[in-house]
Amino acid sequence: MTIRKTPKGASRRAFLTSAAAATLGAGAARAAGDPLITEIQPWAQGFGDGVDATPYGLPIEYESDVVRRNVEWLTADTISSINFTPIHALDGTITPQGCAFERHHSGAIDMRKQDYRLMLHGMVEKELVFTYEDLERFPRESHVYFCECAANSGMEWAGAQLNGAQFTHGMIHNMEYVGIPLRTLLAEVGVKPEGKWLYVEGHDASSNGRSIPMEKALDDVLLAFKANGEALRKEHGYPVRLVVPGWEGNMWIKWIRRIEVMAGPVESREETSKYTDTLADGTSRKWTWVMDAKSVITSPSPQSPIPHGPGPMVITGLAWSGRGAITRVDVTTDGGKNWTEARLASEGKAKALTRFYLDLEWDGAEMLLQSRAHDQTGYVQPTKDQLREVRGLNSIYHNNGIQTWWVKADGRAENVEIS
Amino acid sequence: MTIRKTPKGASRRAFLTSAAAATLGAGAARAAGDPLITEIQPWAQGFGDGVDATPYGLPIEYESDVVRRNVEWLTADTISSINFTPIHALDGTITPQGCAFERHHSGAIDMRKQDYRLMLHGMVEKELVFTYEDLERFPRESHVYFCECAANSGMEWAGAQLNGAQFTHGMIHNMEYVGIPLRTLLAEVGVKPEGKWLYVEGHDASSNGRSIPMEKALDDVLLAFKANGEALRKEHGYPVRLVVPGWEGNMWIKWIRRIEVMAGPVESREETSKYTDTLADGTSRKWTWVMDAKSVITSPSPQSPIPHGPGPMVITGLAWSGRGAITRVDVTTDGGKNWTEARLASEGKAKALTRFYLDLEWDGAEMLLQSRAHDQTGYVQPTKDQLREVRGLNSIYHNNGIQTWWVKADGRAENVEIS
């Protein structure tokens, strides 16, 4: 049997040859009759690992660069800091817990289920304390939601700054949660008519208190204890965290300790000195809870260059909206002169990540890559300049402007802005 | 009604007692004005872990029992053996890769993406060899599918045997895959008119060759390189595995090496001496590829006893069908005299796990728990006795009979059969 080199010509077939050029070893071997496929290799000559090797497994050693990373200069210490999901290296929509970003205000605490307590008090008929085991006795729901830090892309307000999708857009993850609707526990304690807001705090030293209007609490907020099938990870709030679909991650209180029913909001440190949007005139907008429609091309990107020459390639990325489902994503390769509708991997789900693909025949020329998300409310992701017109340059949070990657002829990409 | 108990020797797990003890503690503490909520605890008095603690994280230490387990006596060695997903401890539908079951025929091999090759040959216009990088250039799809070993529940043919859902039904996992439709590569090489079957082999020593009819290959088979967002794990076929939706896991060739287009099936060892169903008369059925509709209650179950007394509780489990979507799941607490329709966590997806819940007010009496799945074809999951009438007692594979858990008044559960 002979393995023939792919003939030039037909578009799809042509690329194997060009790929060969880009990956010399493989290409040369393939042209000559590639020993990696024609000869018996070491891994086919003996036994591999048995089923007792890893009772709980980790990624293979060759994927050791697909990890959470932080940005040293971003915050003073790593305790009250944040790290970033390696979205440039992921595909699909689910984020594995192991590399899903973390944000702590006083670090990830270590708490046993047996020691867990949740208090519901304030303007209620009957104040109650629940153990973990108590919570497991209430009817559960399961939903996939994205969790995005309000500061995601925050470093980009002043201009293109961080060179990688992991750093510009990696304060996000997307998991399948199992938990109890908060409305169920509120019914259990009986909210008094004057109770219009909740104040929620965590068990950690920071407590990270936030105010949540009753309408949202009664809508889709969950007390979650499972993510992607298993118990929450320590760094994501084990054993119980709040899930506040579509709203900024800071409100998704981890290690949730108490929920106080109140007549009004507390205006705590976490919702006044932080998590407000300072405008051009120096005043600040508060209660900007919802994460508006946003998207980013994850590959190619600075950490995920094009490894081959001209020919067929896949452009892929993520889109999401805190107001509902993504209905459409447009992609441009020329900085916005022409837009093409991307292919959604599956129909957009409300408040969850949507994966998009654009299958492109690359001519090898430079590209200015951008993606633009549309959600079910008709909202269209704005440019960064459109955002600045409204918000000025003093904001940190809620930057959902269109991202630009400048892809060079050699396949490398760079974070830039165009105007 | 007679209850056929687990044979002596398969004893209940030791941790049941400790679970019961923990319950008492929590209950007592709550009754008395609980210092765990009224007093400041150690975890609120200092810093927790910073964001550099785990670039790639693992479950918290307290979840160390939620791991893959094997059954020593099941096979001669752990290299050609299988382990089981801890489904009794999971919720939702996604299976984390870290505890998703493994089955190897010569062990999990260690292979770099750079060394990966896939050959398509046989009755094709142009035989081609693809590198990993080549594959990344083809249009991708993303789908959630279950993968069930044909032998899942196989040890139960002769009667209730293994005392835990992990062991009776844990040869299954459910992941979001990203890959290339096999039909795309078949179009690339050009299948000749006489090519009606595929023979597929892996890079491992066993090669685990299987024959696949062309209709299935052109339908929904994927060459997958991502699962739940990240690269496949080593034990699940890194860097590329075949995904054969709804069909027995043995056909989901890991580390896939070659695909030969042929006029007929090979009738290899893996599809003659194994993965056929021996009937009562000693003859064997072959080509029983599809995994029929099946379900199991994951909690309560022998490894997940009811940790509390009478009152509200959640019964939950999983249902799936290789023929399409799950449309309904019934649950009985009295061994089948009365059935109640369970609540599906979300609408059933074709060839993917569906989570069901039954919210019950438990009177504290013994229960004979069963679940019964219905799929979109109208098929209803049979009883084990109904299966045996057709298949006899010589089968190993494709046991999708209804599982019974005998739940005692103390909340402990046991694997039994009733008739």
Q: What ipTM does the predicted assembly reach?
A: 0.93
Report the CATH number at residue B394.
2.60.40.650
In three-state secondary structure terms, A99 is helix
The answer for B 182-221 residues in CB contact with A (under 8 A) is 188, 203-205, 207
Claim to verify: residue B252 and residue B302 sit in the same structural domain: no
Other Cβ atoms closer than 10 A to A363 = 10
* Cβ contacts from A onto B, under 8 A: 371
Q: B111 with B238: CB under 8 angstroms?
A: yes
- Kindly provide the residue ranges of all beta strands, DSSP E only, lying in B192-342, ordered along the sequence: 197-202, 210-213, 222-227, 230-231, 241-243, 256-262, 277-278, 284-285, 294-299, 311-320, 326-332, 340-341
Q: B5 with B408: CB under 8 angstroms?
A: no
Q: From the candidates B38, B41, B70, B91, which should be mutated to test the interface with A, based on the most A CB atoms within 10 A?
A: B91
User: pLDDT tens digits, residue range B346-405?
Assistant: 999 999 999 999 999 999 999 999 999 999 999 999 999 999 999 998 888 999 999 999
Nearest to A57 among B69, B233, B312 (CB): B233
DSSP tag of B139: P
Instruction: Check pLDDT > 90 for residue B24.
Output: no
The residue from B285, B313, B333 where one domain ends is B285
Instruction: Check pLDDT > 80 for residue B223.
Output: yes
Q: From the candidates B56, B85, B314, B316, which should be mutated to test the interface with A, based on the most A CB atoms within 10 A?
A: B56
Give domain status of residue A149, yes or no.
yes
Per-residue model confidence (pLDDT) at position B255:
98
Give domain status of residue B241, yes or no.
yes
Is B176 at the interface with chain A, CB within 8 A? yes
Q: B170 with B213: CB under 8 angstroms?
A: no
Q: What is the dihedral of CA A217, A221, A224, A230, to 10 degrees?
A: 180
Per-residue model confidence (pLDDT) at position B77:
77
The answer to whether B50 contacts A357, with C-beta atoms less than 8 Å apart, is no
B11: confidence class by pLDDT, cuts 50, 70, 90:
very low
Domain count for chain A: 2
User: pLDDT tens digits, residue range A115-157?
Assistant: 999 999 999 999 999 999 999 999 999 999 999 999 999 999 8
pTM of the full structure: 0.93
Give domain status of residue B32, yes or no.
no
Q: What is the mean pLDDT of chain B?
A: 91
The residue from A240, A265, A285 where one domain ends is A285
Is B364 at the interface with chain A, CB within 8 A? no
Give domain status of residue B377, yes or no.
yes
Is B26 at the interface with chain A, CB within 8 A? yes
Instruction: Check pLDDT > 50 for residue B277.
Output: yes
- In chain A, which residues have pLDDT < 50? 1-29, 31-32
The nearest CA of chain B is from the CA of A353 a distance in Å of 12
DSSP tag of A82: B
Per-residue model confidence (pLDDT) at position B6:
53
Claim to verify: residue B276 and residue B302 sit in the same structural domain: no
Which structural domain range is residue A368 located in? 294-416
The residue from B238, B262, B285 where one domain ends is B285
Per-residue model confidence (pLDDT) at position A30:
53
User: pLDDT tens digits, residue range B118-167?
Assistant: 999 999 999 999 999 999 999 999 999 999 999 999 999 889 999 999 99
User: pLDDT tens digits, residue range B59-97?
Assistant: 999 999 999 999 888 877 777 789 999 999 999 999 999
Claim to verify: residue A231 and residue A94 sit in the same structural domain: yes
Give domain status of residue A342, yes or no.
yes
Report the CATH number at residue B107.
3.90.420.10
Claim to verify: residue A267 and residue A300 sit in the same structural domain: no
User: pLDDT tens digits, residue range B318-357?
Assistant: 999 999 999 999 999 999 999 999 999 999 999 999 999 9
Nearest to A40 by CA among B115, B199, B203, B106: B203
